[in-house]
């Protein structure tokens, strides 16, 4: 009963950092190894088997905006805690791939062993790396549909020649980590105005404004004690803005932002038709992830103003 932990997405220029945690609990799964040594088809097949057979698994997510704000080291700690908190099955030891104990400041820190190349040597760590890799790759493929022309489905955010070319042509997106040196030139430029240094206002697209509002909504939920499970979960049938969890309750939250007061409050957009769509999306998510014995709640967050500010959070 060993809890294995590994991260995916430390080095990309865009996209989230994802930490996987897994307890195999005696499950026998052939072919487990470092996710980077497997083909996409092999990873996807093993991902299904791990989720079906493992005694417990979890994923921790930290988005690009948070990485820019607090740095990679703190982001790794946060994502690791998120992943571990989702493990409900008992375990007697924790192995983290690498050289850093990201649980050192917690009560679990003393049970941790850090091992270089553990994702290659320890089956439960290999499993953790695989589920994290597949989850992140799937997310980036979904973002490729939202941000056309960047090729996120191919390079998943890494600084490839094709990615660099796309940034030069199209600019950066909310997925990009502007704290990373190659992208720092895209940070807002400071200008002098009335002897006070202000961040220069830059034109924003509707999509960028919406993403900014979602990020603020996500941070609001985290402050309320929510653990973020997913953001912009999307299929060809439905989508959910934010999926979060408190204890055994799973929240599916719709984010509504109104820039001007005369546009009406964001909550007014939750029509009976929208409620029906939200319910379907929540049920489809539960079915797709084979979840059971969990309390489901629909919720909405309304934001207004410029920059966006949370007006209300309402369970529906």
203-210 LR contacts (CB < 8 Å, sep 24+)? 207/146, 208/173, 208/174, 209/257, 209/259, 209/308, 210/255, 210/257
| CA-wise closest residue to 19 among 118, 130, 109, 115 | 130
Asked whether residue 108 falls in the same domain as residue 214, the answer is no
| CA-wise closest residue to 81 among 98, 56, 106 | 106
Q: Which of 92, 111, 144 is the last residue of a domain?
A: 144
At 240-255, the pLDDT tens digits run 899 998 888 999 999 8
Find the CATH number of the domain harbouring 14: 3.30.420.10
Asked whether residue 9 falls in the same domain as residue 108, the answer is yes
Is 87 inside any structural domain? yes
Spatial distance between the Cα atoms of 144 and 148, rounded to a whole number of angstroms? 6
Asked whether residue 214 falls in the same domain as residue 308, the answer is yes
Is 158 inside any structural domain? no
For the segment 284-305, the average pLDDT, to the nearest whole number, is 86
At 124-163, the pLDDT tens digits run 999 999 999 999 999 999 999 999 999 999 999 999 999 9
| Range scoring the smallest mean pLDDT among 119-128, 138-147, 194-203, 230-239 | 194-203
Cα dihedral sign, 293-294-295-296 = negative
Is 199 inside any structural domain? no
Structure tokens belonging to residue 19: 């930490």
Find the CATH number of the domain harbouring 211: 3.40.1350.10
Number of domains in the chain: 2
The pTM of this model reads: 0.62
């Amino acid at each position: 009963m060993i809890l294995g932990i590994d991260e995916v997405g430390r080095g990309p220029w865009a996209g989230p950092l994802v930490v996987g945690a897994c307890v195999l609990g005696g499950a026998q799964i052939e072919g487990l190894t470092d996710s980077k040594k497997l083909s996409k088809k092999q990873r996807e097949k093993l991902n299904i088997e791990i989720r079906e057979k493992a005694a417990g698994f979890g994923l921790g997510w930290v988005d690009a905006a948070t990485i820019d704000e607090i740095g990679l080291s703190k982001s790794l700690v946060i994502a690791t805690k998120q992943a571990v908190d989702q493990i409900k099955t008992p375990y007697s030891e924790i192995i983290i791939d690498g050289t850093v104990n990201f649980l050192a400041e917690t009560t679990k820190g003393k049970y941790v062993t850090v091992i270089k190349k553990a994702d290659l040597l320890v089956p439960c760590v290999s499993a953790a790396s695989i589920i994290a890799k597949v989850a992140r790759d799937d997310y980036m493929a979904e973002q490729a549909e939202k941000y056309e022309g960047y090729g996120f489905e191919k390079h998943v955010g890494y600084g490839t020649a094709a990615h660099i070319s796309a940034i030069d042509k199209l600019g950066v997106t909310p997925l990009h980590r502007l704290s990373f040196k190659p992208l720092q030139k895209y940070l807002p430029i400071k200008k002098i105005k009335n002897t006070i240094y202000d961040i220069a206002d830059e034109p924003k697209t509707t999509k960028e404004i919406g993403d900014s509002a979602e990020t603020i909504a996500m941070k609001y939920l985290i402050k309320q004690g929510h653990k973020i499970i997913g953001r912009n979960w999307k299929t060809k049938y439905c989508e959910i803005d934010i999926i979060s969890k408190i204890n055994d309750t799973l929240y599916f939250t719709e984010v509504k932002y109104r820039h001007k007061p005369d546009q009406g409050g964001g909550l007014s957009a939750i029509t009976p038709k929208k409620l029906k769509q939200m319910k379907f999306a929540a049920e489809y998510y539960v079915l797709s992830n084979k979840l059971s014995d969990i309390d489901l709640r629909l919720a909405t967050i309304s934001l207004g103003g410029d920059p966006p500010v949370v007006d209300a959070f309402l369970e529906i």
